[in-house]
């Protein structure tokens, strides 16, 4: 049976990936910082879908923890067929801020960890001749709205570069560029969330399903939902001065609020029907 490793796999989009893959009978390795949430998610997914769920508690801002996850990806006795690099953190600190702590955190989690884990997965998968890597980027990567957008632009570019390097090996790489997604991370924004038109919001499950579909088709860039594909096309084809002007308007709506440097959190999705499915192994690895 195939195995997928998901970083940030207990909340938001990561939890949606876990649910979608578990429903397909894919065994999981969930990576997150919160041991209690890991245990709860693993127990629920295993009992609901009858799969094996391993957990790996790791803080991807800590290099030793990233190396442990990389070692799991390269473990030839327990091959991973799909890597979902999903873990992230919000970065709204101004680029001119003297305090760069949130920028450092963002670089470590959303750039360096993606680089290290993508490389580990690429080596292991190409040696076997098959596999898939999904890197969760953002539609903001097409705009110029600050540090977060710049980091996600790196993820989008890196994913395409990795796809080029792995061409012909049987390993696919897909960058996923979602827009606004209904998670508790955005729910904490309060007034900022209420200012976003309802039609722009997407559901985590829809993002995960679109990403998995496009990954299976070998697409290198996936933009979930037709409306965001249109916005993405405009962002790529409008004059850059216009894109910067639009980006400035988006950014200005955030300047009156204090920076949010904490990682996103979200409650695990509710269990799907079929809770009488046989329970398989839940294993936990710790630092």
- CB-based contact 67:287 (threshold 8 Å): no
Kindly state the greatest CA–CA separation across the chain.
57
Instruction: Please give the pLDDT value at position 260.
Output: 41
| Residues sharing a CB contact under 8 Å with residue 197, sequence separation 6 or more, in sequence order | none
Give the residue from 175, 191, 184, 177 showing the smallest Cα distance to 227. 177
Q: Label residue 196 left, alpha or beta by phi (over 0 means left) and psi (-120 to 50 means alpha).
A: beta
Antiparallel, parallel or unpaired: β 53-57 and 171-176: unpaired
19 pLDDT tier (thresholds 50, 70, 90)? very high
Which has the higher per-residue pLDDT, 96 or 43? 43
Comparing 266 with 140, the larger pLDDT belongs to 140
For the record, the structure tokens of 8 come out as 């940030």
| pLDDT band at residue 247 under the 50/70/90 scheme | confident
Confirm if 64 and 41 have CB atoms less than 8 A apart.
Answer: no
Whose CA is closest to 152, among 70, 90, 78?
Answer: 90
For tokens 């061409």, the residue is: 167
pLDDT at 227: 87
Contact indicator for 278, 49 with CB cutoff of 8 Å:
no
Residues 127-143 have pLDDT tens digits of: 999 999 999 999 988 88
Task: Give the mean pLDDT of the chain.
Answer: 85
Model confidence pLDDT, tens digit, residues 203-237: 999 999 999 999 999 999 999 988 888 988 988 89
Model confidence at 273: pLDDT above 60: no
Determine the pLDDT at residue 196: 65
pLDDT tens sequence across 145-201 = 888 999 999 999 999 999 999 999 999 999 999 987 877 655 554 445 555 666 677
What kind of fold does domain 3-285 have according to CATH? Answer: Rossmann fold (3.40.50)
pLDDT-based confidence at residue 3 (cuts at 50, 70, 90):
very high
Every domain of the chain and the residues it spans: 3-285
pLDDT value at residue 199: 62
Catalytic positions, please?
Answer: 148
Q: What percentage of residues in the chain have a pLDDT greater than 70?
A: 82
**pTM (whole model) above 0.85:** no
How much of the chain, in percent, has pLDDT values that exceed 90? Answer: 64
- The answer to whether 7 and 113 have CB atoms below 8 angstroms apart is yes
């Amino acid at each position: 049976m195939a195995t997928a490793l998901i970083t940030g796999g207990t909340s938001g989009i990561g939890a949606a990936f876990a649910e979608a893959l578990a429903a397909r009978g894919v065994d999981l390795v969930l990576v997150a910082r919160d041991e209690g949430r890991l245990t709860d998610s693993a127990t629920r997914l295993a009992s609901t879908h009858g799969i094996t769920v391993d957990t790996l508690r790791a803080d991807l801002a800590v290099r030793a923890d990233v190396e442990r996850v990389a070692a799991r990806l390269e473990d030839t006795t327990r091959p991973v067929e799909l890597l979902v690099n999903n873990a992230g953190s919000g970065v709204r600190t101004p680029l001119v801020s003297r305090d760069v702590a949130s920028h450092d955190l963002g670089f470590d989690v959303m750039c360096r960890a993606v680089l290290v884990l993508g490389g580990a997965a690429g080596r292991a998968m190409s040696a076997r001749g098959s596999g898939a890597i999904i890197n969760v980027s953002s539609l903001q990567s097409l705009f110029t709205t600050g540090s977060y957008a710049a980091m996600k632009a790196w993820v989008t570019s890196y994913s395409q570069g990795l796809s080029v390097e792995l061409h012909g090996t049987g390993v696919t790489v897909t960058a996923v560029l979602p827009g606004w997604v209904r998670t508790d991370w955005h729910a904490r924004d309060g007034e900022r969330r209420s200012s976003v038109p309802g039609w722009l919001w997407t559901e985590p499950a829809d993002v995960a399903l679109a990403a998995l579909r496009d990954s299976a088709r070998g697409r290198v860039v996936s933009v979930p939902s037709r409306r965001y594909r249109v916005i993405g096309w405009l962002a790529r084809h409008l004059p850059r001065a216009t894109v910067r002007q639009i980006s400035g308007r988006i950014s200005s709506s955030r300047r009156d609020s204090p920076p949010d440097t904490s990682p996103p959190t979200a409650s695990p999705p509710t269990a799907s029907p079929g809770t009488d499915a046989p329970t398989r192994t839940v294993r936990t690895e710790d630092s």
